[in-house]
Structure 1
Amino acid sequence: MKIKRYFSKNMREAIRKVREEQGPDAVILSNRKVDGGVEIVAAIDFDEVVLDAGAPVIPAPPRHATTGVRAAAAPAPAAMKPTAANAAPAPAAAAAPGAIPFPEPAILDMRRELKNLRGLMEQQISGLMWGDMARRKPLEANLLRLLLQLELSPGLCQQIVGELSDASANDAQKAWRNALGVLAHKLPVTDDEILARGGVVALVGPTGVGKTTTVAKLAARFAVRHGARKVALVTTDNYRIGAHEQLRAYARLLDVPLRTAADPNELREVLKELADRALVLIDTAGMSQRDVRLSEQFALIRGCHADIKSYLVLSATTREAGVDDIIRRYRNIQPRGCILTKMDEAGSLGGTLSQIIKHKLPVAYVSDGQKVPEDLYTASAPRLISRSVAMMRRAEQVPDDPSLAMILGGTAANA
């Protein structure tokens, strides 16, 4: 097998060089961008059997064997005799039947190169697919470009375009409005349940997303509508020293009671004490979604056996993968919906909205500032979409065709 590296200004020229020198049977092992162009590693006379050359061949066990050690070699004839005195000692290799020989560095390098091969093929295929779509269906291609500029997930973008009717096939502006309408229809929102009906409400979520400030905003709004005597605050945060002080300051400002609960029994007693309050807001401890103590917070809320409605507080500044992880980690507590905070600090809403749609988690309220209670609004799907479009226009980042092909490549490969 002959392996050679090729350097060219672009991928097409590099592949042409490979074909000229090594012929059509050459295999591209890897590609990467370098200063001045791209680098391709290609091989001829390639044989995947080489990958297993570093591992010894282990014979299969006899068909009639009943022993659980399947990887051991077949016993020598002497070992078949019933007398223990004449039995041959087991070979050294059989002492560790589960051991896997460590491949040589060359084999590891080859495996890494092969992993890159799939990425190259997906990239090339997606590029061809995008180019073909741009030629045959320019309106759909332009819609995909615009939706991807919103930083929505590629799968959601393709789903939206696929659901559009043919009525707007020749009108780009109408098609764009219809696409945003489909997006708004997919985005779940709830009504003004907390402020309209009250109840026992717990705000949960990772640290730093603004739970305590959101509790204060909701309490202030409810007090304005129904009176301060109808509101009470509870905190279960026993980890942060300043958590109680911040909430206590809000409680004094609003003239509402504040109670502390460290375990399910305490929370049950506190809720009994506050049973005459129309709205009881519980500020839970903020911690990473991967913190082992998170289960303690879940147990505290579920263990008091009260009718507690949980809402997950999400920061609009969190990246899409982080939002996905947070929603998955807090799924056990079965949140009624979510509250989006820090809208004023976000550069894009597409990733967050994509995950909210994916997990079917309704948005209840949005917050875009620190003012209590002004910077809190009931969620509206059209307004959230309009906000996302406004952010896109401010960013002025238009992906080129190669970037679009790469973004859509993973979705096409997994389709």
Structure 2
Amino acid sequence: MNIRRFFGKNAREALAQVKQALGEDAIIVANRSVNGGTEIMAMLESDVDASASQANAEQGSEQTRSLLDFVHAKEQPRQATPVPAPRAVQPPAATVSEEASVNESAIMDMLKQHSEQQEHAYQLATQTLEEKMQGMMVEMRQMRSHFETQMSAMTWQHHLQHSPAKSKVLGTLLAANFSASLSRQIAEKMPQHIDVNKAPMWAKEVISRNLHTLDDEDALLDRGGIYALVGPTGVGKTTTTAKLAARYVMKHGTQNLGLITTDSYRIGGYEQLRIYGKILGVMVHAVKDEEDLKIALNELKNKHMILVDTVGVSQRDQAVTEQLSMLSRADSPIQKLLCLNATSTGDTLTDVMRSYKKHDIAGCIVTKLDEAAAIGNVLDVLIRERMRLFYTTSGQRVPEDIEVADKQALVERVLTPHQASLPYQYLDEELPLVISSMMQTASQEQPHV
């Protein structure tokens, strides 16, 4: 019997080979999926007839009919010697065209199911591998961080043991609420020949050189312009606006000053500034949106100086962007002054600064200076962000409790020994580990000192 084997990448390709080699009347004997494709066993119908005749002539037995049943051959008339009654013969085998349709559909279904199973298994294996790799990476980063901290601590311990002056400066800055990153940078810049008793004076000079303040208030008031006070809720923008207005009135009078408030949300916000304006003899314009602001600025276009009190919102509120964008779209340029609360933590001040600085802040005003036990946190942010300090306020009195930023007074205050509370002072043996641990979280770019 001449049974031939055909192999293709899929059932369709294997069947095409059968048709090409054996024709449309070929009989499919068997088919199966093998690695890389589909295998089909087929033979010619004439081969089946020849095999059946030969088997009847030589054996006259049941074997031929069993073979014919197995390959689904068509029954042919026989004139051989009578044999025992045959079993019921199955219907003739399908032709290539009929068999191809049935087998191809079944094979395709099997291949599709097998492919889906393989894909699912692959996804599970990939997911498991990724989870293991992520876990390993986390552990490696933790080990690296721990190792770097230990090495940094050992390095700093060596430096500080051989440089008492650096240890003195580092401990003083940290106790004054300066950040670890800026404190470390200043200490690293200290020359080796500096005596330990002169180290604080050297640190004051460095801080003073990097703290930028308003050069000339008279030039600012004489130049005039539009200034908007911005910042978080409760920082004291309305009171500070009134203080600035009073300083201008004392120098230039009331006729050339304009006051605007956008604080229509806070209960009594407009009323508070209106009372201050009434005392000064200046009308206050209340605006609710961009169109109102344009109208108010147009009415005050002949004023020499215009102060805008804005509504206070959290630095993380979307309203910050909306309000500052409204100010930026005004027909006349508005310079924005950011109010910073001296009692806030360094992290909070940094968060506030980053939220507002991207909107072109012209400078800062530090408020509530009288309530802060240590002011290193706010000076630290001003130095790191290279932001100019215009004024400081310390109290509610108008106009007394505001003054032009005094660089020397601020630096003297921040590094005066009695200003540092004892619980926040570090022992010399604690400094290496403290500074190395805090450095792991310091990612911002530092200024040159």
Counterpart selection for 2:296 from 266, 270, 273: 270
- 1:311 aligned counterpart, secondary structure: strand
Alignment of 1:158-307 (within 5 A): 158-165=184-191, 169-191=193-215, 192=217, 194-307=220-333
Amino acid across the alignment from 1:399: Y
Distance 1:148 1:78, change over 3 A: same
Question: Are the equivalent residues in 1 in contact too, given 2:164–2:196 (CA < 8 A)?
Answer: no
Question: Are the equivalent residues in 2 in contact too, given 1:348–1:391 (CA < 8 A)?
Answer: no
Paired position in structure 2 for 1:407:
434
Identity rate, percent: 33
- 1:172 aligned counterpart, secondary structure: coil
Distance in structure 2 (CA, Å) of the matches to 1:394 and 1:327: 25
Question: Are the equivalent residues in 1 in contact too, given 2:176–2:419 (CA < 8 A)?
Answer: no
- The worse-fitting range, judged by mean Cα deviation, of 364-373 and 392-401 is 392-401
Give the Å deviation of 1:189.
Answer: 1.3
Question: Are the equivalent residues in 1 in contact too, given 2:175–2:421 (CA < 8 A)?
Answer: no
Question: Are the equivalent residues in 2 in contact too, given 1:200–1:281 (CA < 8 A)?
Answer: yes
Distance 1:273 1:127, change over 3 A: same
Distance 1:100 1:199, change over 3 A: same
Paired position in structure 2 for 1:23:
none
Distance 1:194 1:77, change over 3 A: farther
Question: Are the equivalent residues in 1 in contact too, given 2:175–2:420 (CA < 8 A)?
Answer: no
Distance in structure 2 (CA, Å) of the matches to 1:184 and 1:77: 82
Equivalenced residues, count: 336
Per-residue CA deviation, residues 28-58 of structure 1 (Å, 9 max, x unaligned), is xxxxxxxxxxxxxxxxxxxxxxxxxxxxxxx
Give the Å deviation of 1:184.
Answer: 0.7
Question: Are the equivalent residues in 2 in contact too, given 1:315–1:342 (CA < 8 A)?
Answer: yes
Amino acid across the alignment from 2:353: I
Structure 2 segments unaligned to the other structure (5+ residues): 1-32, 39-103, 444-449
Question: Are the equivalent residues in 2 in contact too, given 1:78–1:87 (CA < 8 A)?
Answer: no
Distance in structure 2 (CA, Å) of the matches to 1:122 and 1:156: 19
Question: Are the equivalent residues in 2 in contact too, given 1:78–1:88 (CA < 8 A)?
Answer: no
Counterpart selection for 2:389 from 363, 368, 374: 363
Give the Å deviation of 1:225.
Answer: 1.0
Distance in structure 2 (CA, Å) of the matches to 1:222 and 1:391: 37
- 1:333 aligned counterpart, secondary structure: coil
Structure 1 segments unaligned to the other structure (5+ residues): 1-75
Distance 1:97 1:135, change over 3 A: same
Per-residue CA deviation, residues 367-398 of structure 1 (Å, 9 max, x unaligned), is 11111110101112212111212475352442
Distance in structure 2 (CA, Å) of the matches to 1:262 and 1:391: 48
Distance 1:187 1:296, change over 3 A: same
Distance in structure 2 (CA, Å) of the matches to 1:268 and 1:95: 65
Distance in structure 2 (CA, Å) of the matches to 1:394 and 1:255: 44
Paired position in structure 1 for 2:153:
127
Give the Å deviation of 1:307.
Answer: 1.1
Counterpart selection for 1:340 from 347, 353, 366: 366
Amino acid across the alignment from 2:434: I
Give the Å deviation of 1:178.
Answer: 1.6
1:147 lines up with 2:188 in the alignment? no
Give me the TM-score of the superposition, normalised by structure 2. Answer: 0.67
Per-residue CA deviation, residues 171-230 of structure 1 (Å, 9 max, x unaligned), is 333332122101110111123254343211000111110000000000011111111112
Distance 1:273 1:100, change over 3 A: same
Per-residue CA deviation, residues 241-264 of structure 1 (Å, 9 max, x unaligned), is 221111111111111010012222
Amino acid across the alignment from 2:433: M
Paired position in structure 2 for 1:45:
none
- 1:330 aligned counterpart, secondary structure: helix
Please say which structure displays the higher CA radius of gyration. 2
Distance in structure 2 (CA, Å) of the matches to 1:129 and 1:232: 58
Give the Å deviation of 1:123.
Answer: 4.5
Question: Are the equivalent residues in 2 in contact too, given 1:319–1:351 (CA < 8 A)?
Answer: yes
1:352 lines up with 2:378 in the alignment? yes
Question: Are the equivalent residues in 1 in contact too, given 2:262–2:310 (CA < 8 A)?
Answer: yes
Cα RMSD (Å) of the superposition? 3.2
Amino acid across the alignment from 2:352: I
- 1:189 aligned counterpart, secondary structure: coil
Distance in structure 2 (CA, Å) of the matches to 1:395 and 1:195: 39
Distance 1:87 1:270, change over 3 A: same
Amino acid across the alignment from 1:316: A
Give the Å deviation of 1:116.
Answer: 5.8
Distance in structure 2 (CA, Å) of the matches to 1:357 and 1:373: 28
